[in-house]
A and B are shown apart, each in its own frame.
Chain A
């Protein structure tokens, strides 16, 4: 798709029928013992057959280590262990939401093609209720990467009618600087979404949380904490989340997330956060 960025199609009809945007799957890149663990990948898109039945899922990923490097070497016809759908995913669009800004950093754009198509009523996902009329009218993607070579999937967003606003650290495409700075400039010049969603590295999510808080915008963040199992057994991926009563507890991102209301997300982990 782009520099070090690949798209893989996995035949899994049952999973494809159930998975919703923002949910993820764990894929082990080998049948052997090394690398040992599965890696989490957000749904990129569901693939339908000629009769419209879901039969495969597409994942988009950046090669970052041994697991993703092995996955990039997989060949058509290989069998790989995978399990899912995992996590809560994004919900239906909140009442009254017409314009959405999706803010992505690095490889964090991957859940947003499907989410934009779902919320704009172009595609159905999962077995549960689907967004009712009226749909979200407009989605803008704010997409930041180090350099233009990493921009992946722009044509998919454009095909979905998503307006794409780019930022790169080196200025090789779009705005030079952080994607959240670009968002703030657009907000200052008058463009106003009803809702924000974010996926990307922690500094970007923290900045986005700040923007949402200052402007009083609802915002959902998809966290990317390090995981070992993906189904709630290992307690690796915990994040401090503030409950309605103000107490902060460590939540497993894999089962209680990965999508959280930005207003509830804390960033200091461990004993201090929980007051123990």
Chain B
């Protein structure tokens, strides 16, 4: 079986709010001193795919990214986590294409990889990205590929002639039987926290195959894809100023301070009735 994981490189979402700035001309975050990292849900997806491989045996896991050349780091890291092979579709410029454009590129790349290496039983994407986080790519990709999809999946296991999926809903867990090929979006749980690569695997990752292609090679309209915003664009972006003054409990003893806190909490709770 073959499983594909889509990875996106993003500006580190752990940048503290005080260091975060918007570039008004680009209508996007300033890079500043921030690192570029793999979106966390994509790493959860890699981990989920690797665990599926461990449970099912004979599974090849491929990582795919549409990004700038720096995104090669994300793919190398995935291979260090022991993903078998990787592919980078090189993005020109640093525009921020919308999900409609990204979905087209990823679908075209997937078709090309399938022509060459056979079909992917499962395509995994993150539930949303830590930068723009619109969480639309998985759905768009499913439609571009004409495959069924399920969101918020936390694990894949070999099942009754197909693949068994567990996914999170608002009030619990749903178990689904899926007939490949399909697309899922991956969410986090305690079991798919991404593994830390072993030193040896980090070294091995540089020997694994990393294929590169361009949107033009995939027969895509360069301009539309480059400029991205075919479906939506950012009209405006700003940093909200919503900091408030916090009244800290004061007093000489812990008892006094906790007493103040208790009275404040009680006041609010009592007002609800």
A and B: bona fide binding partners: no
The chain B residues found within 8 Å of chain A, CB to CB, are none
The chain A residues found within 8 Å of chain B, CB to CB, are none
